[in-house]
Amino acid sequence: MTISVAIIGSGPAGFYTADALVNGGCDVQVDIIERLPTPYGLIRGGVAPDHQTTKKVARKYERTALFDQVRYFGNVEVNKDVSLAELREMYDAVVLAVGAPSDRKLTIPGADKKGVHGSAAFVGWYNGHPDFRDLEPDLNTRAAVVIGNGNVALDCARVLVRSREGMAGADIAAHAMEMIETAPLTDVYLTGRRGPLDAKFTNVELRELGALERAVPLARAAQLPDAVPDDMDPRDKRLAERNLANLRDYATNDPDAKPKRIHFEFFAQPVAILGDARVEAVSFERTRVVDGRAEGTGELFEIPCGLVIAAIGYRSDPIEGAPFDDKAGIIPNADGRVDDGLYAVGWIKRGPSGVISSNRPDGVTVAEYICEDFQNAAGKPGRAALAPVLEERGVRVVTFDDWKKIEAAEIARAKGSGNPREKFVTVPEMLKVLDA
C-alpha cells in the first residue's frame, strides 16, 4: 500500500525529508506544500545573496522534486487554503517543516521606533521575499547598528556596505541593491553583549570582511584577549583562535583605507533605542563577562545611528491544529514525532539554529518513522483528495514546472547584469509569468 505523505514547507528540512522518504525503501507518494510560489525556504530568502555557492544545494533539492513520487504544491498556504486538520484527514502522514520565520523581538525601551528592524525582515527584504517587499528600510543615514554576534548579524552588516560591482554574481533583490548602492551609510557597528571569544561567527564569514571592496573591518585591540583559555572545548577553541587572529588583523586596519567601515563593538549590552519617532542613537551599557555571562558595569555610552538591525535570533510561529511550546518556540516532539501521523523536522522541530545540513538527520529519522508507522496502513488518498479541494477553492497551485518557468524568467531578466537571476519580489509578478 502506498503511504501518502504531505510535507508542509519546502525549505531544507522539507526537501531532506522528501528525499529520505523516496530513497527509504517504502512505497510513498510525497506532496510538498509551500505557501510561496517559489521553493527552498531560507535558501532563497535567508542565505546571503553574495553566497551563491551555499545556495547551490537547491540543485540537489530540485532532483528530489523531480522524482516521480514527489509533487510540488506551491502557492498553497496551510491554514489559509487548506487546514492542517483537513490534510491529516487526507494523508497518512503530515510533516511540519515550516521553519522559524519570525524575529525574536528586541524588548528594550524604544525598540518600536521607526528605523528599527529585525533581521528576519531585513534579510527578507534584501533577498526579495514577498512578505518583506514593502519594508523599505530608510538607509538615508551615515551610521547603522547591528545588534548580534552571529553569522546573520555579519550578513546584514556586510550586505549594507557592499557595492553593486562587488555584488556582481549575487541575486540580491534589485530594490535593495539600488537603495544600498546610493545610501550615504559609511559606518556599521556590529555589537555583541559578550566578548570576541563568545561570538558565534564562523571563521569563513568573519574572514570575508577583510576582502570587501569598499569597506574595512575595524576591531579594538583593547577588547581582544591575549590568548584563548586552555579549558575551552577543543572545537570552540580552534574557532575562537582563528576568529581572534582575524580580529587582531582588523585592529591594525586603517579606518580611512576604504570609504566605509564595519566596527566590532564587543561587551556592549543595548539598553534603549533613543530618538523621537525615529531612531537617533542606541544607548549601551558596557559589560564584562563573568562565567560566560555578560554583567553590566554601569558605564553607559551611545552610538548615534539612523538604522538598527536586531539580529538576535529567529522564532517559530504556532500552527493551528498542532501543539506549540511557546517558551521553547517549537512544536513539542519526541525525536520528530508529534502525534499519530503528525511529525516535525527542521527549525520548527529543533529551534532556529544550525546550518543547512543540520536539517538532514531530522528528515532521515522522520522518514524512517513514517515507513515504520504505516507499513500496514489502509492508505489515505493524499493528493487525489487535496487537488480537487484546492481547485474548488480557486487556489492557483504553482507546480514544479511552473516554478521552473518563473525561474527561467528571473534568469532571463538578469541577462547581461552578471547576476544569476533578478528575482520577482511579489506573488502577482510571479503568477503573471505563468499567465503570459
Ligand X SMILES: Cc1cc2nc3c(=O)[nH]c(=O)nc-3n(C[C@H](O)[C@H](O)[C@H](O)COP(=O)(O)OP(=O)(O)OC[C@H]3O[C@@H](n4cnc5c(N)ncnc54)[C@H](O)[C@@H]3O)c2cc1C
Q: What is the dihedral of CA 36, 82, 118, 325, to 10 degrees?
A: -140
| 311 and 305 Cβ atoms separated by less than 8 Å | no
Question: Which residue, 40 or 250, is less far from ligand X as judged by CB?
Answer: 40
Nearest residue (CB) to ligand X, 3 versus 84 = 84
Segment 150 to 169, residues that bind ligand X, using CB under 6 A: 152, 155
18: Cβ contacts below 8 Å, ≥ 6 apart: 7, 30, 32, 64, 65, 67, 70, 363
Among positions 21, 42, 58, 406, the unique one binding ligand X when judged by CB under 6 A = 42
**Residue among 323, 389, 338, 342 at smallest CA distance from 94:** 342
Does 77 bind ligand X (CB under 6 A)? Our answer is yes
C-beta closer to ligand X: residue 257 or 355: 355
CB of residue 31 to ligand X, shortest distance in Å: 11
Q: Measured between alpha carbons, how far is 161 from 11 in angstroms, rounded to an integer?
A: 28
Among the candidate windows 142-150, 184-192, 267-275, 350-358, which touches ligand X by CB under 6 A?
350-358
CB of residue 304 to ligand X, shortest distance in Å: 27
For the CB of residue 50, give the shortest distance to ligand X in the complex, in Å.
Answer: 10
From the number of C-beta atoms within 10 Å of its C-beta (0-12, 13-18, 19+), residue 233 rates as exposed
Return the HEC string of 167-235: CCCCCCCHHHHHHHHHCCCCEEEEECCCCCCCCCCCHHHHHHHHHCCCEEEECCHHHCCCCCCCCCCHH
Looking at the Cβ atoms of 9 and 329, the one nearer to ligand X is: 9
| Pairwise CA distance, residues 330 & 82, whole Å | 22
Q: Which of residues 297-336 bind ligand X (CB under 6 A)?
A: 314
| Binding window for ligand X (CB under 6 A); candidates: 33-41, 268-276, 288-296, 333-341 | 33-41
Contact of 96 with 60, CB cutoff 8 Å: no
Segment contacting ligand X (CB under 6 A): 30-38, 224-232, 272-280, 369-377?
30-38
8 touches ligand X (CB under 6 A): yes
Q: Which of 51, 164, 200, 258 binds ligand X (CB under 6 A)?
A: 51
Which among 27, 3, 1, 29 is positioned nearest to 92, based on CA atoms?
3
Specify which residues 334 forms β-bridges with. 337
Widest Cα–Cα separation across the chain: 71
For ligand X, the binding residue among 20, 70, 78, 342 (CB under 6 A) is: 78
- CA torsion 198-204-206-212 (nearest 10°) is -170
Question: Residue 148, interface with ligand X (CB under 6 A)?
Answer: no
Candidate residues 4, 5, 7, 11; the one interacting with ligand X per rule CB under 6 A: 11
Q: Which is nearer to ligand X, 224 or 322 (CB)?
A: 322
- Taking CB under 6 A as the binding criterion, the range among 5-13, 215-223, 286-294, 382-390 that sits at the site for ligand X is 5-13
Nearer of residues 189 and 347 to ligand X, judged by Cβ: 347
> In the complex, which residue's CB is closest to ligand X?
11
CA distance 319 to 88: 14
**Does residue 128 touch ligand X according to CB under 6 A?**
no
Does 200 bind ligand X (CB under 6 A)? Our answer is: no
Find where cell 484546492 sits.
390
**Judged by CB, which is closer to ligand X: 41, or 275?**
41
Instruction: Say if CB 120 and CB 135 are below 8 A apart.
Output: no
Residues that bind ligand X (CB under 6 A): 8-14, 33-36, 41-42, 46-47, 51, 54, 77-79, 97-99, 123, 152, 155, 314, 346-347, 354-356, 358-359
